[in-house]
């Protein structure tokens, strides 16, 4: 490892978690029939030139398909990010990640880290074995963002665009430019290694809020489920969750996110069930299914709303809220 303090170099730490960017298929022409998480992060950095004055450090945190992302990996990532960000000579952290849940991981890290330096997640829509892989350019761009002076907060870099963790969503199933920041728009773009910023970097938190457990225990994540409001919706799934909760299962549902239509509207049958859940002590939050916009609350709304958060991000926010309440 380069002794950057003595050499005058700044370090950028690249944490690997697997994903398509580390995927491999039997044929270079196959961009969908690959196995994710096969190439190590150190190998992904092969052939990528560090920016001037920067040394790259690789660390493998996990090696999985991001559809299978787990809470313990989030904790490992948060702890490794906090460790490296505290090092004086570390300019920032880059995380290689699968596209399917990258927006969830980014949101989690934005909430729990006091990221006064940049934490940049990047990915690929084509595997490393592709005839035309997009991962190397995305990784190069992410490193450029992490090396940018005064950058901070958590972002996602893909196809030359820099997305804030609060706004980013995967919006396409296979296109290399698969992400959007909705009506908020991207933070900026990476153009031939240079960052062109359009708006402020994501706000850095005031203090780290990484979930911790008491000595000898493991972190207990409250169970929060998502149900969707749609034409002909019923409250059957919610009532089943309440029955399960009443039966004394080991991990009863503690929170519920309703993926609502439009401006937070919910089918009357599902809303009635959600209110029953709320009366039974389950925390309930509405989040809109719409890709753009936010829920504008009305006086007297019986169920809380998640504002601009998507259902999957609202779930994470509610989980962390319930954990804080339990720890108080």
Q: What is the pLDDT of residues 120-141, one digit of tens each?
A: 999 999 999 999 999 999 999 9
In this structure, are 38 and 161 located in the same domain?
Answer: yes
pLDDT tops 80 at residue 37: yes
Task: Say if 216 falls within a structural domain.
Answer: no
CATH for 276 = 3.40.50.40
Task: Say if 214 falls within a structural domain.
Answer: no
pLDDT of residue 130: 97
In this structure, are 10 and 49 located in the same domain?
Answer: yes
- What are the CA-CA distances from residue 182 to residues 179, 186, 244 (Å)? 9, 8, 37
In this structure, are 138 and 24 located in the same domain?
Answer: yes
Number of domains in the chain: 2
DSSP letters for 208-228: -------TT--PPPPEEEEEE
Half-sphere exposure in the Cβ direction for 276 (13 Å, CA)? 17
The alpha-helical segments, DSSP class H, found in 168-267 are 236-246
Least confident of 17-21, 77-81, 128-132, 208-212: 208-212
* Cα–Cα distance for residue pair 135/171, rounded to 1 Å: 18
pLDDT tops 70 at residue 3: no
Residues marked as catalytic? 20
pLDDT of residue 1: 46
Task: Say if 206 falls within a structural domain.
Answer: no
In this structure, are 246 and 189 located in the same domain?
Answer: no
pLDDT bucket at 6, cuts 50 / 70 / 90:
low
Domain that holds residue 122: 4-197
pLDDT tops 60 at residue 223: yes
In this structure, are 181 and 230 located in the same domain?
Answer: no
What the block records as the tokens of 258 is 């309703």
pLDDT bucket at 327, cuts 50 / 70 / 90:
confident
pLDDT of residue 5: 54
In this structure, are 182 and 229 located in the same domain?
Answer: no
pLDDT of residue 189: 98
In 212-237, which positions are buried (b, 16+ CB within 10 angstroms) versus exposed (e)? eeeeeeeeebbbbbbbbbeeebebee
pLDDT tops 90 at residue 245: yes
Q: What digits encode the pLDDT tens for the residues 209-221?
A: 999 877 767 899 9
pLDDT tops 70 at residue 176: yes
């Amino acid at each position: 490892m380069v002794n950057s303090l003595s050499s005058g170099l700044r370090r950028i730490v690249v944490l690997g978690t697997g994903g398509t960017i580390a995927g491999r298929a039997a044929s270079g022409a196959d961009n969908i029939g690959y196995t994710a998480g096969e190439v190590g992060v150190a190998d992904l950095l092969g052939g990528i030139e560090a920016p001037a004055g920067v040394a790259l450090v690789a660390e493998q945190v996990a090696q999985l398909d991001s559809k299978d992302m787990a809470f313990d990996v989030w904790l490992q990532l948060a702890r490794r990010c906090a460790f490296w960000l505290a090092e004086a000579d570390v300019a920032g952290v880059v995380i290689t990640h699968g596209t399917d849940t990258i927006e969830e991981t980014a949101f989690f890290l934005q909430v729990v880290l006091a990221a006064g330096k940049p934490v940049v997640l990047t990915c690929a829509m084509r595997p490393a074995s592709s005839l035309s892989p997009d991962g190397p350019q995305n990784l190069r761009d992410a490193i450029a963002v992490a090396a940018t002076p005064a950058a901070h907060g958590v972002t996602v870099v893909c196809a030359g665009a820099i997305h804030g963790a609060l706004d980013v969503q995967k919006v396409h199933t296979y296109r290399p430019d698969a992400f959007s920041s909705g009506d908020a728009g991207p933070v900026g773009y990476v153009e031939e290694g240079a960052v062109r910023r359009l708006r402020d970097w994501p706000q850095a938190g005031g203090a780290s809020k990484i979930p911790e457990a008491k000595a000898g225990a493991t972190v207990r994540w409250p169970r929060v489920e998502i149900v969707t409001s749609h034409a002909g919706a019923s409250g059957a799934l919610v009532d089943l969750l309440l029955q399960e909760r009443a039966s004394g299962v080991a991990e009863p549902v503690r929170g519920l996110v309703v993926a609502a239509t439009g401006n937070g509207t919910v089918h009357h049958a599902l809303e009635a069930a959600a209110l029953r859940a709320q009366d039974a002590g389950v925390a309930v939050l509405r989040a809109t299914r719409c890709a753009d916009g936010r829920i504008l609350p009305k006086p007297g709304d019986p169920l809380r709303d998640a504002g601009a958060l998507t259902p999957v991000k609202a779930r994470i926010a509610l989980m962390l809220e319930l954990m804080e309440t339990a720890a108080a």
